[in-house]
Structure formats: structure tokens, C-alpha cells
Amino acid sequence: MNKTVTINSIQLRMAEGVPAGRVDEQIVRRLWWAALDTLQEEILLKMNLSRGLWFAAPLPALYESKLLNRLNGWVWAPDELATLHHPSTAFVLPSHSKSIEHEKKLNKGSFNRLPLRENDGFDPLLMIITPEVQVALALQGKPGERNLLMRSDPETLTDLLTMLDQRLDSEDSSQANQIRELLAGLGQLKTNEDLSKLFWPLLSSKLAGIAPSLNIQTLSDSQSLGNSSKKFNGEISLLEAITHEVRTPLSTIRTLIRSILRREDLSNVVVSRLKEIDTECTEQIDRFGLIFNAVELERNESQKSSLASTDLGQMLETLCEIWGKQLERRNLKLQLDITPDLPHVLSDPQRLELMLGGLIDRNSRGLKPGGRILLKLRPAGPRLKLQLIGQSSKPSSGKNLDLEENADLGTVLSWNPNTGSLQLTQAATQRLLESLGGRLTRRRDSGITIFFPISDPH
């Protein structure tokens, strides 16, 4: 086998025996993001992996934090991303020139950077090796003949690992030795040729769910009901596509930023700017995650969250700092008023965090600088009562600022002309809260109130 191994040659090996693709760049990139989503969220996270290695180029395609924290990573990154210039200083990705001992000291979730060569190309590659699963993803092909490749057969993966070893040995023998040791430490690898039987149907289902309907038909009275349903499904599919295409790249950007932040030679200005970008990415990921949850519920109304005992008071206190910092950027304050020693409620903790964050964002949009958001949590018979009130800095205008002038853009989203922001419709908010165990009431003079059922202590 040729000693000069490139990322492109690795992808060509993956393409052996696979028919040429028939799609253009735009479509194949959408396939790539959907494939990353499917592999990480639908397969790997559910396997509860504890150790392993991953390799990627030209960016860290692995973005799920639970996977990043458990697996060791290497990324072939272009020189353009190795040094990003700032007026006062420069900062770099984790350097491939650093010693192995230094790399071992990196926090979890980091990765080692390796140099991307001119003949490597810029088509993405992701390879994951764990005791339970081994898989490689890549894009490959000429313009108009682009293809998404997924290989999990032992023969191909053995060749890919051999090629990676040759590549690494020519770049940095110490890195190659470290990877050999880590691979040996994984023990006997289980073959998973049947992974493709799981991956492709899951990917097809995801694409079918997010592919917007572009069918246009002339309505007749007899067709109106059916076409109304098609229009609804088209709206939901389009929103699924939008949320997917926004969240996934932002997650990758955030992973890259957090890796840079682990360097110790950054100036305070650079750290501050990067943290601002990280915060913006997180807020938008959470925002579109909330929209996605609402869309999922609209598509499958019978779907219910798995409700569990949830310490709502502790959740509010824990998230108060995060929400408070978000509000501070707009010169607003967050105030908590929680009765101590409250019982737990029945809800879905993970989705409830997104929901409450979305409500705080929504009810703070119309507040002028100097205003505040007040959160009150009180017992109310067999329930707990959570009140969220937006208050102006001027008592005379202290009314609820979740204004009624919102214009519904469909079933899920509305637009507030006063703030220029998109948000969930009142109906979608109501349904989403109900799926989380909450019951929403709204009064113009006292904000919104949500009642949660108390969890059975037994």
C-alpha cells in the first residue's frame, strides 16, 4: 500500500464497491449533517460508550458532548484554522507539535490537531473506533456525482486503520505510538457489519421527516381538507429542516471554540470574545432545540414525554446564574422567590430546562433596560405554582410584556413586530407545556403561571 496516505485516498478506499453518487454539493452536505445527527444521536449516544478514539477532517465532526468527553480525538485541520489573527494577539488550535504528555493533560472534550496537507482535499471524514462499534463516514465524488459514504465492515475498517497508522507514522511517530497503545487498550473489537442495516433506515427516516413538501395543487372544495393537511405537514417538515440545519453546524462551531479556549496562552480579550461566541451558539442551539421539540409534538400529538420526579426548585436555582447572565447582556435582572423545602414535581427535566429558558427569553424581549424577570415558586395544593413575571423599571408601566400583537406564522411559530423576534405560538407553548406535565394560565397583569403536579413521594 502506498506510504503517502492522504485523507482523499482514505475516502477513495471507502468508496470501493460503492456506486457513484448522483447529487450536487448542496444536497450531499445536507446528507452529511443528517448522517452526523443520525450516527451520534440515534446510535452512539444510545450505546452508552465509555472509551474509544475518533478521527476527523477538516473539522471536528463529532459534536455531542457526552461522546467528546469519553473518546480521544484527532483532527486534521487546515493551516487557515491553526492560527486566527486578532488585532492584539493570535490564538491557535491544539497544536500537533505539542508533546504527548501535554496532550494527555488536556481537559476532556478536547482533541489533538494534526496538519491537513494540500493533497488531502476538504471533503469531511469521521472515523470512530470503540470496543462496541467501529464506523467511518465521509463525503466523496466529483461535482454532480457526490456521495455520502458509510462503512462498518471489518475489511474496510482494517484497511482504514492501516492507512491512518501509516499517515500518522509519517507525521509524528510519537502520536502514532500513542494511538497504537490506545487501540491495543480497547481489547477485542466487536465486528458490526450489521450497523449499516440500522444506520441507513434511520437516516432515511430522518431525511423523510425533514424534507419539505413542495407540492402545489389547485384547491377545490372536495380537496381542501386533504390539502390543508398537506400544507400543515409541509410547514412542520420545513421547520424540522430549518432547526436541524441550524443546530448541527452551531454544535460543531461550539466544539471548536471550546477546544481553543482550553489553551493557556490566550489573551483576556480573545477569551472574552470566544466566550461570547460560545454563549451565542448555546443560546441559539437551545432556542432551536425548543422549536424542534414543539415541532416533534405537532407531528406526533400522541407522543408524550417520559415524566419523572423533578426537583423544580433546585433546577431554577441551578439555572439562575445562566439565565441571569443572558439577561445581563440586555441590562435586565432575574430575581428568584422560591419557598424552601418544596416537594418534587412530575416533568421531563431535560426538556423542561429548554422550555423554561424559552419562556424567560420570550417574556424578557419586550422589557426595556433596567427591567427584571421575577420567578416565583409556591405550593398550591397538590401542585406547585410557578409564576413568571416581566416587570418594567417604571412601576406605572409594569405590565406583562408578552404582548398580544404577535402574528402567528403557522401552527408553531409567531412573530412579534415589537421585538422582531420569532417565538412559539401561544397554542404550541400550551401543548408543549402540557406534554411536560404543566398547565399554563395567562393574565395580563401577572405574567404567566404554570401548575405542575407534585410527584408521589412513594
* Residues above pLDDT 90, as percent of the chain: 32
The Cα 27–Cα 452 span in angstroms is: 44
Decide if pLDDT at 391 tops 70: yes
pLDDT of residue 336: 93
Query: Which residue did the predictor score with more confidence, 389 or 246?
Result: 389
pLDDT of residue 234: 56
User: Cell numbers of 266, please?
Assistant: 490566550
Decide if pLDDT at 96 tops 60: no
User: Cell numbers of 456, please?
Assistant: 408521589
Closest CA to 150 of 28, 240, 249: 28
**Least confident residue range of 148-152, 218-222, 287-291:** 218-222
Decide if pLDDT at 168 tops 60: yes
> Considering the entire predicted model, what is its pTM?
0.54
User: Cell numbers of 40, please?
Assistant: 451520534
Decide if pLDDT at 105 tops 60: no
Across residues 318-323, what is the average pLDDT? 90
Decide if pLDDT at 282 tops 70: yes
The Cα 156–Cα 428 span in angstroms is: 47
pLDDT of residue 164: 93
Chain centre to alpha carbon of residue 382: 36
423 within 8 A of 362, measured Cβ to Cβ: yes
Residue 58: asked if its preceding bond is cis (omega within 30°), the reply is yes
Closest CA to 37 of 291, 244, 237, 290: 244
pLDDT of residue 446: 62
Question: What's the mean per-residue pLDDT of the chain?
Answer: 79
Query: Which residue did the predictor score with more confidence, 94 or 125?
Result: 125
DSSP 123: -
Amino acid at 349: P
pLDDT of residue 106: 37
**CB within 8 Å of 252: residues ≥ 6 apart:** 59, 60, 61, 63
